[in-house]
Amino acid sequence: MALPSAQEALTDVPSSYSEVVQVVVGRGLQAVTFHVHKDLLSTSSPFFKAALREHWIEGKMCKIQMPEDKPDDFKYYLDFLYLKALNHPLPQQISSLQELLDDLCKTYVLGDKLQDDEFCDMIMRAILLVQINGGLAADKKTIQSPLFSRSVIRWIWINTAENSPLRKLVLSERVDEHFCNVPKGRLFIGKDIPSDYLSEVAAALTYDREKFPSVSLESMDHFMRKPKAVESAASPTSTPASSSTKR
C-alpha cells in the first residue's frame, strides 16, 4: 500500500504552518511548481531558511526557483517533510537495483544542497541497505550488489563538498575493491571524471581502513551526518515504501 502524497497531507499539518510558498523546480516546460508551508521548509532546511528571509526577494514574494534540480527528487523531499517517510518506488528485480541506487544518490545530493541532515541520513540508510542486502546471490556469499555508476560518481563530485558522507561511501567502496582485488577498470578514468575524485581515491588507499571502513550494517553510523545506533537490520524492501510513482 502506497503512502499518501505530501500534497494530500497538506490539510493534516499543524495550524501554525499557515503561510504557503511556491517552490518551482526544473526548467522550462519540465518545471513543476510545488506549494509548501513556509515554516516547515524553514525549520527543516537551512537553505530554505536563508532563502525565505524577508530581505531577499524570494522571501518577499514567497517563491523560490530551483532550475538545476529535478521535480521527482523534490517530490521525495516533500514526502519526507510532511510524512517523515521515504516514499520511493522500489524495483522488484535485482537488475533494477542499479537504477534505484542512482536515483537515491541523486536524491541525497538534493538533500545535501538543502542542508537537511535528517533527510540525508534517511536516504543514506536506503542506499546502504540496497548495497548491503539487495544484491546477495542465493548462496549468500556472492556479492551482486549494485555499485556506483560512472555518471553518478561524476554527479556526486560536481555537486557535493569534499567532506560529504556520500563521497566517503563511494571511496570506501573503492577501498573495498582494492583490497578484494577487484579489476581496476572499476576505478573509472576519463575526461568526464572529475580530477579530484581520482586524487581522493588515491589518498583513501593510503589511509587506515578505519577511516574508510568496509560497507556493512555495523559501519552504517560512519556514513551518517547524525550518527545513531542501528537497532535492527531491515531489508531494503522494508525501507522505501512502495509507490505507484514512476521515475
Q: What is the pLDDT of residue 82?
A: 92
Query: What's the angle, vertex CA 99, arms to CA 98 and CA 104, rounded to 5?
Result: 100
Residue 35 lies in a domain: yes
Amino acid at 81: L
Residue 1 confidence (pLDDT) above 60: no
Residue 51 lies in a domain: yes
Residue 58 lies in a domain: yes
- Residues 54-66: tens digit of each pLDDT: 777 766 778 899 9
Alpha helices in 191-231 (DSSP H): 195-204
Question: Domain residues for 48?
Answer: 20-68
Residue 49 lies in a domain: yes
Residue 94 lies in a domain: no
Judging by beta carbons within 10 Å of its beta carbon (0-12, 13-18, 19+), is residue 155 exposed, middle or buried?
Answer: middle
Q: What is the pLDDT of residue 243?
A: 38
pTM: 0.75
Residue 148 lies in a domain: no
3-class DSSP state of 61: helix
- Residues 142-160: tens digit of each pLDDT: 445 667 888 899 999 999 9
Residue 219 lies in a domain: no
Q: How many domains would you assign to the chain?
A: 1
Q: Determine what percent of the chain is predicted with pLDDT higher than 90.
A: 32
Mean pLDDT of 73-102: 77
Residue of higher predicted confidence among 5 and 61: 61
Strongest mean pLDDT among 51-55, 103-107, 209-213: 103-107
Q: What is the pLDDT of residue 247?
A: 38
**Among 100-104, 144-148, 243-247, whose mean pLDDT is lowest?**
243-247
Residue 159 lies in a domain: no
Q: What is the pLDDT of residue 179?
A: 67
